[in-house]
Copies of this chain bind each other. A is one copy, B any other.
Amino acid sequence: MSKTPPQAPPCTPTLPGFTCGLDATLRVVAGKWKPLILYFLAQGGPTRYGELRRAMRDVSDKMLIQQLKELTADGLVKRTDYREVPPRVDYALTPLGESLAQALVPLCTWGTDNLAEVTRVFARREASASREERPASE
């Protein structure tokens, strides 16, 4: 028995509109930046918009704002607008958001632990990607 399905994890099938709990979660955190935002907020505590923005490089204003809005609407983060003269706003996790951030920790750990393999994977992907673009030799 080389592979023994260890034990049935809590992936209850036949839920309302979801395939399973994982499916439900994934739909909530779908979006290029949401998990990162959650995780970021989980580490630094309440954070101002600009800080977040600078911390997560490669994110555009539009995207960050949009994702923050959704997370807020979904009750995962709380937005505080101090209604000051130069605008000041900060974002913090709600309890719900915090619990989700906790659930993300193993993924982060996995990524760090297997960074070597992941890096190789991406090297391969990009290699084949560029091969497709230039069918003719270098």
Contacts and interface: CB of A to CB of B under 8 A. Distances in A.
Interface of A: 3, 5-6, 8-12, 15-28, 35-36, 39, 42-47, 51, 56-58, 73-75, 92-93, 96, 99-100, 102-115, 117-119, 121-122, 124-125
Contact of A108 (B21, B99, B112): B21
Main secondary structure of the interface of A (DSSP, over half): helix
Given A35-B26, A99-B110, A119 B17 contact: yes
Contact of A107 (B51, B56, B57, B103): B103
A27 B110 CA distance: 12
Q: How many copies does the complex hold?
A: 2
A57 B23 CA distance: 12
Given A23-B36, A24-B115, A124-B73, A43 B107 contact: no
Given A5-B42, A110-B99, A21 B121 contact: no
